[in-house]
Amino acid sequence: MSLLDVRNLEVTYAGGARAVRGVDLSVEAGQKLGIAGESGCGKSTLALALLRLLPAGTKVSGEILLNGEDVLTMKWGQVRAVRWAGASIVFQGAMHSLNAVHRIGDQIAEPILLHKKATPSGAKKRVGELLEHVGLPAARADAYPHELSGGQRQRVMIAMALACDPGLIIADEPTTALDVMIQAQILRLIEQLVSDQDLGLVMISHDLAVLSDTCDRLAVMYAGRVVEEGPASQVYENARHPYGKALSAAFPRIGDVASRFAPRGLPGDPPDPSALPTGCTFHPRCPVALDVCATEDQELRNAEPGRRAACVHVGAAVTDARSTTA
Ligand code: ADP
Ligand code: MG
């Protein structure tokens, strides 16, 4: 049984935006999966869906099996238990996720107490340990968020994510708001913590280079779909889907905010998810599109063992996508 097994996940926002369309993914304990793609491709929607954090009125279907249990059919009490203790999320902007008027130690202690993982005095001790774990002195527990730098605040968010010993960490652009040196430190910290504790990691970034450094496998998303998936170094160095190729050819540098919006050499933008193009949704931007791409949707196909890509130029169609990644 996988730690996380996402099957045919579809997310449609109340306004009709089809932000995630038929995504299949799996993560084993100790495995690091990277999800790449330009801004607007559905990465955050996917992350939020995993813990049912999407706004009311959003239509979600498919299966999200966390340790074999479907998050989508759980009762709310169970969902609350799974958040923090089963899986937790580290978001991009630590300043917005932390409460400005509470000491960080109390904020880290909150999920520990909520989930009855420790007594109040036990929680205090655990907060000190967690802070040291993420490279901050235990005494910083008394600080308010504004007394910390951006990198330190992101360390606090990571401490909070680890507080209830989850099996899976979901990190959504955890370093995008930080400067280059600090980004590298935080990524190394996350990588080290998940390896030490044999956790699963879903790391989301617009930056394929960052992901290929950190992750074992990579999935490239375009217009709400996974269009390419495989071992990280192979996808980065030799992408099989034209979109994956464009992302890796862009060589976006860490901290290059512009590369997030338009990979160099790839004109245009991802489509509006409430008005998707017919056929392959990438065809209007694709340098190697054929006539058929404007009319025929492309499913993920086997590119080679352990690698899949959704492009007419790649291999033969597979009927059961999951059978190729086991
Ligand atoms: P990414 O994280 O890859 O940048 P998102 O998941 O944030 O992408 O967004 C995917 C698409 O869904 C975008 O077109 C975005 O505008 C749309 N979207 C995101 N959040 C909402 C929402 N709450 N309501 C309606 N549409 C949304
Ligand atoms: Mg996002």
40 pocket-lining for ligand 1 (C-beta < 6 Å):
yes
- Count other C-beta atoms under 10 Å from residue 315's C-beta: 14
Q: Which ligand is nearest to the CA of 261?
A: 1
115 CA → ligand 1 middle, Å? 30
| Ligand 1 mutation target, pool 10, 35, 38, 45, most atoms within 8 A of CB | 45
Q: What are phi and psi of 204, to 5 degrees?
A: -105, 135
Q: Model confidence over 156-186: pLDDT tens digits?
A: 999 999 999 999 999 999 888 788 888 888 8
User: Which residue type, as a one-letter code, is found at position 271?
Assistant: P
111 shares its domain with 64: no
As a whole number, mean pLDDT of residues 225-231 equals: 97
Q: Do 242 and 117 lie in a common domain?
A: no
- 18 has which bridge partners? 12
Summarize pLDDT for 29-44 with one digit per residue, the tens. 999 999 999 999 999 9
The mean pLDDT value for 132-155 works out to 94
Are 217 and 292 members of one domain? yes
What's the domain range around 42? Answer: 4-86+164-323
Query: In angstroms, rounded to a whole number, what is the distance separating the alpha carbons of residues 284 and 223?
Result: 12
Say if ligand 1 is within 6 A of residue 37 CB: yes
Q: Would you state the pLDDT for residue 316? A: 54
Same domain as 149, residue 36: no
Q: Say yes or no: CB of residue 31 within 6 Å of ligand 1.
A: no
Burial class for 242, CB neighbours closer than 10 Å (0-12, 13-18, 19+): buried
The finding on whether 279 has its CB within 6 A of some atom of ligand 1 is no
Instruction: Determine whether 225 is exposed, middle or buried from the number of CB atoms within 10 Å of its CB (0-12, 13-18, 19+).
Output: buried
The verdict on 27 and 82 lying in the same domain is yes
- Among candidate residues 33, 37, 48, the one with its CA nearest the CA of residue 2: 33
Of ligand 1's listed atoms, the one at least distance from the Cα of 273 is 14
3-state secondary structure of 209: helix
Q: Are residues 53 and 128 in the same domain?
A: no
- Residue 68 Cβ inside 6 Å of ligand 1? The answer reads no
Q: Is 298 in the pocket of ligand 1 (CB under 6 A)?
A: no
CA of 206 to the centre of ligand 1 (A): 14
Specify whether 169 is located in the same domain as 155.
no
Measure the CA–CA gap between 63 and 115, rounded to whole angstroms.
25
Provide the pLDDT confidence category of residue 58 given band limits of 50, 70 and 90: very high
Domain count, the chain: 2
Confidence of residue 223 (pLDDT cuts 50, 70, 90): very high
Q: How far is the CA of 19 from the centre of ligand 1 (A)?
A: 6
Tell me the sheet residues that pair with 225.
222
Q: What is the pLDDT of residue 284?
A: 95
Which pLDDT tens digit goes with each residue over 248-283?
Answer: 887 554 555 554 555 666 888 999 999 999 999 999
- Centre of ligand 2 to C-alpha 39, Å, is 6
Both 159 and 172 in one domain: the answer is no
Query: Where is average pLDDT lowest: 95-104, 138-147, 288-297?
Result: 95-104
CATH at residue 27: 3.40.50.300
Domain boundary among 145, 163, 181: 163
Query: Which residues are placed with Cβ below 5 angstroms of ligand 2, an ion?
Result: 43-44
Looking from the CA of residue 42, the nearest atom of ligand 1 is 6
323: pLDDT confidence band, cut at 50, 70 and 90? Answer: very low
Q: Which of 54, 58, 3, 48 is nearest to 25 (CA)?
A: 3
Ligand nearest to the CA of 36: 1
Residues 222 and 278 in one domain: yes
- Out of 9, 12, 13, mutate this one to test ligand 1's pocket (max ligand atoms within 8 Å of CB): namely 13
At residue 138, does pLDDT exceed 70? yes
How many other C-beta atoms lie within 10 A of the C-beta of residue 326? 7
Indicate if the alpha-carbon torsion angle 243, 245, 246, 251 is positive or negative: positive
Residues 6+ apart with CB under 8 A from 122: none
Of all protein residues, the one whose alpha carbon is nearest to atom 15 of ligand 1 is 40
Q: What percentage of residues in the chain have a pLDDT greater than 90?
A: 73
Output the pTM of the full model.
0.90
What span, in angstroms and rounded, lies between the C-alpha atoms of 51 and 20? 15
Shared-domain flag, residues 203 and 115: no
